[in-house]
Structure 1
């Protein structure tokens, strides 16, 4: 019990007021005044902050916000750990487009006169004479051809010199060359792109001078490489009787 309350009770006793209700009323009024006084003291303790306290509180708040903002920025902008670069898949070496004509075997390597749809034969034309000759390469194909190379090789025996050539197919369908290569006079007919050779029998002939007298054709040779649309290549080769 506080001194203030004791004083109130003492005043009531001294006043000889036996009325219990009046005594309780005084006690309630005293208690109310005490509560009001306590409220004033509390408000005084919790009153407005002084200027230094405001500054310190503001700085503390700003510091807290700054630290929070930096934390957020750090979280948002923290770079991802460096990724290991994916190992590049080894690129396959580009494969060369298969040639429509495979000319790997030398024309003098034995004799192969038939392959797939092709058949061929080499012969010295019977109209040849003692100073001039013609060698014929006869080709038979059971299917149309979209690629064709015919090569005739005449050994450079004494006096051999080119005097011309011909073929039973249209001249404008072929590229023709005739030149000396490695001890041979070589005639080469190459089918132009976009042109075709029909199925059937076709002849390619090379004409040349030679030294007077009979000439031996044992070292002469031919080779034919061909391919049809959507089909693999075929090759035939042989010599001259």
Structure 2
């Protein structure tokens, strides 16, 4: 038995395997319905509040991408997972404060929640001074409804800090960052069809100026099919994959 195997209870591994099989089937069906290649969609396992042992088990089941929302939890969890000899691709998907940037850069391969020029500048400064061997992949979080209160750069805004155009330009022009695409969450009260159709139009306009920005992170447990139908390349799945678990203390 390896160190990583010792972290995972057999019954929990079976639960995760069943959840994973179901989510993979949903993604495959959604891709087929949209006429898309299944390989074009990556599932990110959102493990906020779930233990490191679950990440280890998922990696053993073939999951390559893991998402976390809070740095304090994610930093400790990433260390535990690494100590077990497991190296998933870590996505930071929560709101990021500038004073947490250096901590996040110690483990994150992708930051999906850049929504201001100031945050992009802080990430770039930390990335370039930290000796990374390649630029950090960044997704600009976009506010689909234009309300920045819940996070997200604002489309069609010339605001020099939170307008989508200025934020995308800041990321694209940063030596330590690579503009990979967009991330969004369907706004409260919006039907997923309406939200992701608008997001697809925003993404198309972004790619006209930044052809390399092809990633589109959208869709969660309840609406991943609609997101895939509108071009999502990454879906962020928590409860449908991991089930309902006690909150970590």
| Coarse TM-score class (shorter-chain normalised) | under 0.3
- Larger RCO: 1 or 2 (CA < 8 Å, sep 6+): 1
Larger radius of gyration: 1
Q: TM-score, normalised to structure 2's length?
A: 0.24
Larger proportion of strand: 1
Q: Higher helix proportion, which one?
A: 2
